[in-house]
Structure 1
Amino acid sequence: MTTPASFDDCPLQALPADFELAEMAQHETLILEAWAAAEGWNPGLNDLSLAWRVAPNAFIALRHKNELVAGGTVMAYDSGQSGFMGLFIVRKDYRARGLGGLLWHYRLKVLCQRLLPDAPIGMDGVLEMLPFYQRGGFVFSHFDCRYEGLAKPDSGSDFVGHLQALAQVPFEVLLDFDSRHVAGPRETFLRAWVNQPGSVGLADYSDQQLRGYGMLRACRQGFKIGPLFADSLDTATKLLFALMARIPGQPLALDVPDCNPAALALAEHAGLRKTFACAKMYHGSMPDLLQQQVFGVTSFEFG
């Protein structure tokens, strides 16, 4: 016996008995975070709690007899101009039963309903799922590559005097700069992201011109830098090495788009090495971004 699901254009149109799709409860986000850590995604210490504060309805649950068995996020950014799908995880003992497909298509429909028509929806998908995502209407753009290593000690001593704390940049200037490097404005998310506890934000800002900014945040293991947006390789180098100088010798990860060869070279120059890659894909319109200025994406989970 089956129970009708709350969507009608999914290839799999019914949930098995005792299953439900619904918005996630806050305590369930801790389970989702633990699953992400177990998969090796190493989320930032504040990533999920920050996203919950910004958009609690972005967390979607698949439950069996009121127990969370799969989940994912669907972030709809300001005024419905863009969105992002992330944190798609099915508990191991519930895999290979078609349930992940139900959850994924449901999430896509929910997100499309929250966005303007044909708004770009991004995702960083695992490579083995690429054919599935393509059948769901996503188009491949490029690979985002995880680079990892140890932060070089004293690597930013030559740059500190040329950079400013990100808090010194007027927020409207930061928002305008950020919006040119992502699929759409994300004011609410950005304001929370750059003010998260325990993070370091640096900018190259002078004469009322922002040339680049970067964010360093603590993760379950080590640290991540993201985003790292800059108008030139020189600016990106200053920011990366100054941020590494804050955590000498600590494990560090940077997610780099392979469509920016200068970014790949910079990661190698910093002593980081590629460990894996995700496929950056878009549903709806393909955004026109300043890809040559993206030296590190914000996160695989939220865009």
Structure 2
Amino acid sequence: MTGFEIGGASAADMEMIRAWADEEGWNPGDTDRFAFAVADPDGFLVGRLDGEPVACVSAVRYGTGFGFIGFYIARPRVRGQGYGIRLWKAAMSRLDGRLVGLDGVVEQQDNYRRSGFRPAWNNVRHEGVPQAGDDGGVRVVDAATLPFSRLAAYDRKFFPEPRDAFLSAWTGLPGRTALAAVRDGQVEGLGVVRPCSGASRVGPLYAATPEVAAALLRRLAEHAPGGEIAVDVPDANPTATALLAALGLVPTFEAARMYTGPAPTVDLPGLYGVASLELG
């Protein structure tokens, strides 16, 4: 493996990683990289062979006890030659001592098991145009009109560590729409839609009830070209799966949410769509 070096990703590398993920059919958001960069500026690694980028991975630290692996890609011409596993080991070393999560595509899940990961649930991508309906009196507002501290506190119900910097960028980047459901002054739902190469991705999608989730989905779809959206739904929340089917969205892709230890305690009944398969 002479000539193979691992280093941190540059801004240009982040754009390259996004393009690689698109080639894999993962449909990442057009501007996700800008939010990812603030989540953990040193959390993206690139492997170079004789100076040419051939592999990438993210190993993002959250708080003091959690980490998330994503964007694990080796270019087709170097697969099976050991470069990817060297990069993987560097990523896992960066997260040593933490509970680590990832969303593993089907063909890689056995490899992740050998690295100590165990499945917690599947995130199943549902795509389509939500059927029209009555919002049932759910009050939906621009999330930017609420104090950010309230949004961050709400996000903590669904994620094992604070991620305020990431959430601020994720909800506020140009071209995105972040909506919140509010009742009696309390946040009861939050959703973000972002442009992608394919169907616009919705995530996260949090809701106190299916009615709140449906109202948010319909309103978010108004900001997607042709109304077509994609949501990564935990199958551990059967109410969410049933709602997406009732709204006319169909499964197109799945990845196993896996952890190196017991799954963290989060509000699964309120989790209708994860923020990102790449960073959790």
TM-score (norm 1): 0.87
- 1:96-123 residue CA offsets vs partner (Å, 9 max, x unmatched): 11221111121011122xxxx4x32211
The equivalences for 1:152-191 within 5 A come to 152=131, 155=132, 158=135, 162-191=139-168
| Runs of 5+ consecutive residues of structure 2 not aligned to the other structure | none
Q: Given the superposition, is the C-alpha separation of residues 163 and 292 from structure 1 closer, same or farther in structure 2, using an over 3 Å criterion?
A: same
CA contact (8 A) 1:60 1:73 kept: yes
Amino acid at match of 2:191: G
User: Cα offset for 1:151?
Assistant: 4.6
CA distance in 1, matches of 2:30, 2:123: 21
Cα distance, 1:158–1:212 mapped onto 2, change above 3 Å: closer
| Deviations 1:111-160 (CA, angstroms, capped at 9, x unpaired) | 22xxxx4x3221101111111111111121010001112355xx377468
Structure 2 match to 1:9: none
Residue 76 of structure 1 is aligned with which of 50, 53, 61? 61
Q: Is the 8 A contact 1:58 1:74 kept in 2?
A: yes
Q: Is the 8 A contact 2:8 2:42 kept in 1?
A: yes
What is the CA deviation profile of residues 255-297 of structure 1, one whole-angstrom value per residue up to 9, with x for unaligned ones?
A: 0000001111111122110012101001244201111111011
Q: Deviations over 1:167-195 (max 9, x none)?
A: 12221111111111112211111111111
Which of 88, 91, 94 is the matching residue for 1:104?
88
- Mapped to 2, the partners of 1:139 and 1:179 lie a distance apart of 23
Q: In 2, distance between residues paired with 1:133 and 1:39? A: 18
Asked whether the equivalents of residues 212 and 236 of structure 1 are also in contact (C-alpha less than 8 Å), the reply is yes
Determine the structure 1 residue equivalent to 2:231: 254
State how far apart, in whole Å, the 2-side matches of 1:92 and 1:215 are: 33
Q: What secondary structure does 1:57 align onto?
A: coil
**Residues 208-232 of structure 1, C-alpha deviation per residue, up to 9 Å, x if partnerless?**
3111111111112231110001112
What is the one-letter code of the residue matched to 2:101?
A: G
Letter in 2 for 1:106: A
Give 1:238's aligned residue. Answer: 215
Cα drift, residue 53 of structure 1: 4.0
Verify the 8 A CA contact 2:127 2:199 in the aligned structure 1: no
- SS for the counterpart of 2:161 is coil
Q: Which amino acid aligns with 2:31?
A: N
Q: What RMSD, in angstroms, separates the aligned Cα atoms of the two structures? A: 1.8
Pair 158,236 (structure 1): closer, same or farther in 2 beyond 3 Å: closer
User: What is the correspondence of 1:1-303 to structure 2 with a 5 Å cutoff?
Assistant: 16-77=1-62, 79-112=63-96, 117=97, 119-152=98-131, 155=132, 158=135, 162-247=139-224, 249-303=226-280
Q: Which of the two has higher C-alpha Rg?
A: 1
- Which secondary structure does the structure 1 equivalent of 2:188 belong to? strand
In 1, the alpha carbon distance for the partners of 2:199 and 2:207 equals 24
Cα distance change of structure 1 residues 101 and 181 upon mapping to structure 2, 3 Å threshold:
same
Count the aligned residue pairs: 280
Equivalent residues of 1:82, 1:184 under 8 A apart: yes
